[in-house]
Amino acid sequence: MAVERILSSVKPDGLVRNRIGEPCSRYKSKFMETSVTGKLNLLGLDLAAMQSFFSDLGEKPFRAGQVMQWIHHYGATDFDAMTNLSKALRLRLQETAEIRPPQVELDQQAADGTRKWLLRLSDGNCIETVFIPEADRGTLCVSSQVGCTLNCAFCATGHQGFNRNLEAHEIIGQVWAANRALGRDPKGERIITNVVMMGMGEPLLNFDNVVAAMKIMLDDMAYGLSRRRVTLSTAGMVPMLERLREECPVSLAVSLHAPNDALRNELVPLNRKYPIAELLAACKRYVEGDARRRVTIEYVMLAGVNDSVAHAQELVKVLDGVPAKVNLIPFNPFPQGRFERSDQATIDRFRDVLMRANLTTVTRKTRGDDIDAACGQLAGRIQDLTPRSQRLSRRILSA
């Protein structure tokens, strides 16, 4: 492994930063996880990585499962609590490794029970994670990047700029922290039943770390969620969809928001690189071979922009032959936002056109908007590296 290459990505401020869109090798990401304290943060290792860590220590692979259970089932952060490991091994782990979750900086609860945590990362940036309780499920909305490079016109996260990709331990750390804050259900039921990668950032631009974290979500040694209950939402990074299908085929949601390229180019600039036809063809391939699977098409309802009956009819046409269900999302306003939410009658009319064409359509309830926890309102507290973020965004569009 070329150490020079790793070191060349260490910026003058001493922090190792991941480069967007470029897969980082397991070794490289391990190295980055050790960069702040000199110790490897075991929180972010999936089973395979944990096994290779223990085999490097000359230990049996089953130690990996034991330690994952301590971390993710019991919330342990101290190796001394791990009583089924020998004292010698615990000491060894203390010397080389750590379990360091993000710190809860703020814990807010909305009138409807939605909860939002502002989590502080070791470099001082803060990200947001939201828990949405419903009668039959509890959904955690997880962030994948500090900010976002994509600049979708209607999204608060994009407006605030971009700083960096989250490490795997910072992604799964959100599940860990929420799990701990939510406590145990008195009847022993799961509280977090679903995870959606719909917080800050574009998950497919941080592929390796997101996949490692999702593998931990799915692992019985950790959160044991079925892959249908973990959903990744993307603005349409077409080339990564095939890899996702191969490496971690969770449920897929796609932020479409417009039925034609002219409009989508304006709302989701990434469309200029991967237009609708390519995106929907990739969606079809994603669910191919599984008759029960459907892609969720997300469509934010913007008054007078994309919400007419004609838009609905065009959407029906464009989704013809795509195994899809549609989620209509009433636009959630944020300061600097230049759009307005479609009124209820308009949303209902739009929905009816889709339903008449046999497209399953759900209007998403707006949750947690009194604490800015609704879709598109997450902004965290990030140090914007905007000139860099603009450069990256140009690079994605022109690559």
- The verdict on 255 binding ligand SAH (CB under 6 A) reads yes
Contact stretch for ligand SAH (CB under 6 A) within 52-60, 184-192, 231-239, 288-296: 231-239
Contact segment (CB under 6 A) with ligand SAH among 45-53, 123-131, 220-228, 328-336 equals 328-336
Q: How far is the CB of 155 from ligand SAH (least distance, A)?
A: 4
Q: If binding is defined by CB under 6 A, does position 379 make contact with ligand SAH?
A: no
Q: State yes or no: residue 269 binds ligand SAH (CB under 6 A).
A: no
Is there a contact between 15 and 35 (Cβ–Cβ < 8 Å)? Answer: yes
Residue 289, token pair as written in the block: 């071979």
Distance from C-alpha of 46 to C-alpha of 56, rounded to nearest angstrom: 15
Q: Tell which positions 281-300 bind ligand SAH, by CB under 6 A.
A: 298, 300
Within residues 195-214, the interface with ligand SAH by CB under 6 A covers: 198, 202
Calculate the alpha carbon distances from 397 to 148, 195, 207, 307, 393 in Å.
Answer: 14, 29, 17, 27, 6
- Which CB atom, from 35 or from 342, has the smaller least distance to ligand SAH? 342
Of 33, 98, 128, 167, the catalytic one is 128
329 binds ligand SAH (CB under 6 A): yes
154 binds ligand SAH (CB under 6 A): yes
User: In this structure, which long-range contacts are made by residues 75-79, counting pairs with CB atoms below 8 Å and at least 24 apart in sequence?
Assistant: 75/176, 75/179, 75/180, 77/101
Which of the residues 158 through 197 are near ligand SAH (CB under 6 A)?
none
- In the stretch 19-48, what mask flags binding to ligand SAH with x, by CB under 6 A? ------------------------------
Tell how far CA 29 is from the center of its chain: 18
Identify residue 64 by its one-letter amino acid code.
A
Rank residues 98 and 298 by Cβ distance to ligand SAH and give the closer one.
298
Q: Does 372 bind ligand SAH (CB under 6 A)?
A: no
SS3 24: coil
The residue (of 184 and 394) whose beta carbon lies closer to ligand SAH is 394
**How far is residue 234 from each of residues 91, 104, 225, 296, 339, measured CA to CA in Å?**
42, 27, 20, 11, 21
φ, ψ of residue 322 to 5 degrees: the values are -100, 125
Helix (H) or strand (E) holding 302: none
Query: Rounded CA gap, 265 and 147, in Å?
Result: 21
Residue 248 known to be catalytic: no
DSSP annotation string for 260-299: SHHHHHHH-GGGGTS-HHHHHHHHHHHHTT-TT--EEEEE
Tell me the C-alpha distance between 268 and 257, whole Å: 8
Q: Does 331 bind ligand SAH (CB under 6 A)?
A: yes
Q: Does 332 bind ligand SAH (CB under 6 A)?
A: yes
Least distance in angstroms from the C-beta of 44 to ligand SAH:
20
Binding of ligand SAH by 140 (CB under 6 A): no
- Find the shortest distance in angstroms from Cβ 11 to ligand SAH: 25
Specify whether 283 is catalytic. Answer: no
Indicate which residues carry an active-site annotation.
Answer: 128, 375
Give residues in contact with ligand SAH (CB under 6 A): 152, 154-155, 198, 202, 233-235, 255, 298, 300, 329, 331-332, 375-376
